[in-house]
Amino acid sequence: MPGAAQFILSGAEFSYPGSSRKILSGVDLEIRAGEWVALLGSNGSGKTTLLKILSALLAPTQGSSFICGGGSERPAAERSARCAIVFQNPEDQIVASTLEEEVAFGPENLGCPTEEIRGRVSESLAACGLAGMETRLVSSLSGGQKQRLALAGALAMHPAAILLDEALSMLDPQSRRAFTEIIAAEHSKGKTIVQVTHRLEEIRGAERVLLLKEGKIALDMRREDFFKMKGSELSELGLELPPLERLCEGLKEGGLLPEGCAPEICAVEKCLNAAFGR
Amino acid sequence: MPLSVDDISYSYNKGLPTEREALRGVSFRAESGILSVIGHTGSGKSTLAQHLNALIIPQSGSVIVDGSDTSGSPAEVRSVRKKVGLVFQYPEQQIFAESVEEEISFAPKNWGFDEEGVKKNVAEALAAVSLSAEFLPLQPYNLSGGQKRKIAIASVIAAKPSYLVLDEPTAGLDCVSARELEALLAKFAAEGMGIIHITHDVELALRISSEILILEDGRVVFCGAPEECAEFLCSAPVKGLVLPDVLELSKRLASSGVVDKLEWNAETLLERLKEKWRAQTK
Amino acid sequence: MARADKVAFGQFIPADTPVHALDPRAKIIMATAVIVLLFVTRSAATFLLWLLLLLFLSRLSKIPASTLFSSARPVLILIIFTSLLHIFATPGELLFRIFGLSATKEGFMLAFLISLRLALLVMYASLLTLTTSPARISDGLEGLMSPLARIGVPAHDIAMMITIALRFIPTLFEETSRIIKAQKSRGADFETGGPMKRARAYIPVLVPLFVIIFRRAENLAVAMEARGYGGGSGRTKLKPLRWRRSDSAAIALLSALSALIICGERFLAK
């Protein structure tokens, strides 16, 4: 159950200094602790900027923001520590040469004592399936492993929220699955997840979907309802229902599947077997 | 004459303690249509791609493109490289020119086309990727991701290759741009270009290819049509490859007898199930 | 993709050896001392002693000698060039003439010594970077520079810059290689032509590389800030530097050895 409000934006606007173009033109948004929110929008809709505001890396040029327990009166560094962000390209995030040094970077910045740093390093690497690889070289890792390392570095901050900026888009399908499983595990531990992506397969774990259009929130609905949208409406947004969901919609329309059947392989298999008397 | 790969093997750092085998005994032929090469990360896909345009010479076996051997004379190598266009992953990273026109002219100029030929090729390449001539004077860096991708591809096909090898061409693109690119590949294939498409996306490979090659640890474990490939994938797990949802579902339904054939296409499976339902409820 | 574990020039190889375990400050001091002494060394026999010490250290640190030798490859061209210069430009006993240039016996000897010096220099520096992770080197430098911080030297910032630069060496090698391959695939020719033509051929490689580098710098800065980075004050360390007796012992030993070698040389030269 989502808890207290963790992110509140009121009338938030943003434009870069010197530019008159408003990237965000009035965003009103509330995200509660423990929610898994998907943030969608076409390229240039301001998704990344919104995510940076949510991680306290940027402050809105107009309007107010309350991020992870503090308004803009709390130091940005403190707020950043509460909301960890993972970007698309692991090469743009990793600063150290070995895994343990990389994961230690965050806790070192926070001034944690050495023993605690060591503890956070082992626990974060283990959470990301990289246990025992402390002294391995970063350059010997695959792309999927590097991105998990970036995630481990974020988890070592003990954040209340994890923000993902197209974090899976450079990964192969197997790595995407592994990464999503880790996110789901963190979510079940109570962490808030805000996920920017354009691949709807990745947001199956999300509870809520927000759509950003021309700098404003144009849509805010539950994930189940979002997936019920017509294919034509979604393609206007540059999105496409994954094949399994499309199949389920078609089967439900044709009466082969009950409305309540979840768009998961096991559930659909069961319902269809029942429908055909197997 | 086809592009034929005969029993090639290649190891990185050969002779050193860090020697790593990348390809072993790989053979296949590519003529027309779309050949997709799928396999886990590290299975040798990218190494194979670089063999096809003579960036890498096999340590044993041969790669012969329309009669020219990649391990032959410099003239043969040049001929191969001209005939086989290679588009790397995230090709927009290779963009260097100040205008789209200059960028796309790079390849034809290097291959010795004269001024008129270059202009013609550039115009045709741009049209082939469905971009208008308005793009020619623009700065590539200011364009969108999908547009930059198209320009990078145009810059390779401007050399008029007979074969086009693409490494994960839809990586990082949103759905609409990805679909556009798939349509482009189908168009090129229909116009006679041999397309070799390297991908992780099994669903995509099954959907658009005329032939599929599966690599596992540097070896070919399967080569054949999509239908047989689907059966192969369902019969035993292949390292690193994830069965697409619809195919997995149809595999389970096939074993319980609900469907008779494996399907990977959502719409096709939907039709089959609807037919069966209609027959049953009669 | 070729994530081949290539040992690029000076890249860190983790291992559990006494050399690896030494405090990086000690290692930096010793490496610097040896490099300075190499410049003072005159005779071939002494260079040989330095070489023997290097081989002993290579054994002790489990770094294969072949790896150390290949680390000198990047300066091979410099060595050859300097050698040729000395062979033909040193007055002395004439050995042979070629293209109007005189090769002398003294020239060959000087060239030999200078080559040895250059090669040993590079190999000792490599021994340092092969046995010490970039983060440790930078911690060591920061530690050594910290007294200077009182007079305004940004010790931490310099150290951080070095850490990041070193960590990106393998990545940039790979990316450069990829761009070169992409341009070669488009018919770019990096082999033929005079120096001007070849230099221009690298523009389609350097421009995209710089774009990547600048974009990465921006993104990396944001990622670092997101993990609470705000400069050096208040930072703690995963592996704080701890000077131990083994470090003092190592320095004492090296000092003794060096004194012996240099005195020995002076003595024999008489």
For residue range A214-257, list pLDDT tens digits in order.
Answer: 889 999 999 988 888 877 788 777 788 899 999 998 998 888 88
**pLDDT of res. A224:** 87
**pLDDT of res. A71:** 66
d(CA A4, CA A71): 15
Q: Which residue has the tokens 């944690």?
A: A112
Q: What are phi and psi of B97, to 5 degrees?
A: -85, 165
pLDDT tens, position by position, C130-177? 998 877 888 898 899 988 888 888 888 888 888 888 888 889 999 999
d(CA C146, CA C141): 8
**pLDDT of res. C97:** 81
Identify the H or E element spanning C9: none
In a 3-state reduction of DSSP, which class is residue A193?
Answer: strand
**pLDDT of res. C175:** 93
Q: pTM for this one? A: 0.87
- Going by DSSP bridges, is the β-strand pair C101-104/C94-98 parallel, antiparallel, or unpaired? antiparallel
Quick check: B246 and A238 CB within 8 A?
A: no
B176, B242, B256 member nearest A238 (Cβ): B176
Percent of chain A with pLDDT over 70: 95
Question: Is the pLDDT score of B198 beyond 70?
Answer: yes
Q: Which domain holds residue B105?
A: 3-225
**Residues forming beta bridges with residue B29, ordered by sequence position:** B4
Q: Is residue B47 part of a domain?
A: yes
Q: Is residue B282 part of a domain?
A: no
**pLDDT of res. A2:** 64
**Contact of B85 with B156, CB cutoff 8 Å:** yes
Mean pLDDT of A50-71: 86
CATH number for region A5-241: 3.40.50.300
CA torsion sign for C206, C209, C215, C221 is negative
Domain count, chain B: 1
Quick check: A108 and C237 CB within 8 A?
A: yes
**pLDDT of res. A75:** 66
- Going by DSSP bridges, is the β-strand pair A208-213/A36-40 parallel, antiparallel, or unpaired? parallel
Question: Is the pLDDT score of C8 beyond 50?
Answer: no
Identify the H or E element spanning B114: none
C189, C203, C208 member nearest B95 (Cβ): C208
B277 interfaces chain C, CB cutoff of 8 Å: no
pLDDT tens, position by position, C193-223? 888 888 888 999 999 999 999 999 999 999 9
d(CA A199, CA C22): 49
**Contact of A223 with A38, CB cutoff 8 Å:** yes
In a 3-state reduction of DSSP, which class is residue C261?
Answer: helix
Of A107, A8, A22, give the one whose Cα is nearest residue A53: A8
Question: Is the pLDDT score of C9 beyond 60?
Answer: no
Higher pLDDT, C6 or A166: A166
Rg (CA), chain B: 21
Quick check: C171 and A139 CB within 8 A?
A: yes
The number of beta carbons lying within 10 Å of the beta carbon of residue B235 is 9
d(CA B179, CA B156): 20
Half-sphere exposure of B130 (CA within 13 A, CB side): 12
Mean pLDDT score of chain C: 86
Q: Which residue has the tokens 């450069």?
A: C176
Q: Is residue B243 part of a domain?
A: no
**Contact of B171 with B90, CB cutoff 8 Å:** yes
Most B CBs within 10 Å, among A247, A251, A266, A270, to test the B interface: A247
**pLDDT of res. A276:** 87
Residues with Cβ within 8 Å of residue A110, at least 6 apart in sequence: A81, A157, C228
pLDDT tens, position by position, A1-58? 567 888 999 999 999 988 888 999 999 999 999 999 999 988 778 899 999 999 888 8
**A74 pLDDT tier (thresholds 50, 70, 90):** low
pLDDT tens, position by position, C225-236? 999 998 888 889
**Contact of A207 with A222, CB cutoff 8 Å:** yes
- Residue spans of alpha helices (H) in C71-202: 76-89, 105-131, 134-149, 155-167, 169-185, 195-201
Question: Is the pLDDT score of B50 beyond 80?
Answer: yes
**Contact of B72 with B221, CB cutoff 8 Å:** no
**pLDDT of res. C4:** 35
Q: Which residue has the tokens 């320095």?
A: C251
**Contact of A13 with A183, CB cutoff 8 Å:** no
**pLDDT of res. B16:** 83
d(CA B212, CA B214): 7
d(CA B273, CA B275): 5
The number of beta carbons lying within 10 Å of the beta carbon of residue C12 is 23
Q: Look up residue B244 and give its two tokens.
A: 């697409």
**pLDDT of res. A214:** 86
Most C CBs within 10 Å, among B16, B53, B88, B94, to test the C interface: B94
Of B40, B65, B32, give the one whose Cα is nearest residue B209: B32
Mean pLDDT of C241-259: 91
Question: Is the pLDDT score of B3 beyond 90?
Answer: yes
> In chain A, what residues touch C219 (CB-CB under 8 Å)?
87, 89, 92-93
Burial of C231 (0-12, 13-18, 19+ CB in 10 A): exposed
pLDDT tens, position by position, B117-169? 999 999 999 999 999 999 999 999 889 888 999 999 999 999 999 999 999 99
**Contact of B164 with B196, CB cutoff 8 Å:** yes
**pLDDT of res. B243:** 93
pLDDT tens, position by position, A87-139? 999 999 999 988 999 999 999 999 999 999 999 999 999 999 999 999 888 98
Q: Is residue B259 part of a domain?
A: no
Q: Look up residue A106 and give its two tokens.
A: 């965050």
**Contact of A143 with A167, CB cutoff 8 Å:** no
**Contact of C47 with C262, CB cutoff 8 Å:** no
Q: Look up residue B211 and give its two tokens.
A: 């032939």
Q: Is residue B239 part of a domain?
A: no
B174, B242, B256 member nearest A174 (Cβ): B242
Mean pLDDT score of chain B: 93
Quick check: C228 and A109 CB within 8 A?
A: yes
Most B CBs within 10 Å, among C185, C190, C200, C203, to test the B interface: C185
End-to-end CA distance of chain B: 54
Domains of chain A, by residue range, sit at 5-241, 242-278
**Contact of C92 with C102, CB cutoff 8 Å:** no
The CATH number of the domain holding residue B127 is 3.40.50.300
**pLDDT of res. C88:** 85
Q: Which residue has the tokens 């009950």?
A: A258
Q: What are phi and psi of C267, to 5 degrees?
A: -65, -45
